[in-house]
Amino acid sequence: MPTGMRQLGHQMHMNARELVVTINNAEVTRDTTAILNSLSEVTQACVNCHQAYQLKKGGQ
């Protein structure tokens, strides 16, 4: 796996972990905006990697 891809994957997992913590906290804080912000960070990490790495027909 390319190093950059590994880093992007790591980033996504860190963001996902943060989202879980934020959701747990929101049980007490009722801060739904924090959940949405955290969720958008996870999805941004998905987009970052999909933009950088794509499987292409023809073995490129």
Q: What count of other Cβ atoms lies within 10 Å of the Cβ of residue 21?
A: 10
CB of 42 to ligand HEC, least distance (A): 5
Residue nearer to ligand HEC on the CB measure, 5 or 21: 5
Given 3, 28, 55, 59, the residue binding ligand HEC (CB under 6 A): 55
- Per CB under 6 A, 35 contacts ligand HEC: no
What is the chain's length? 60
**Among 27, 35, 49, 58, which residue interacts with ligand HEC (rule: CB under 6 A)?**
49
Residue (of 60, 38, 56, 40) closest to 48 by Cα position: 40
- Strands (E) in the chain, as ranges, are none
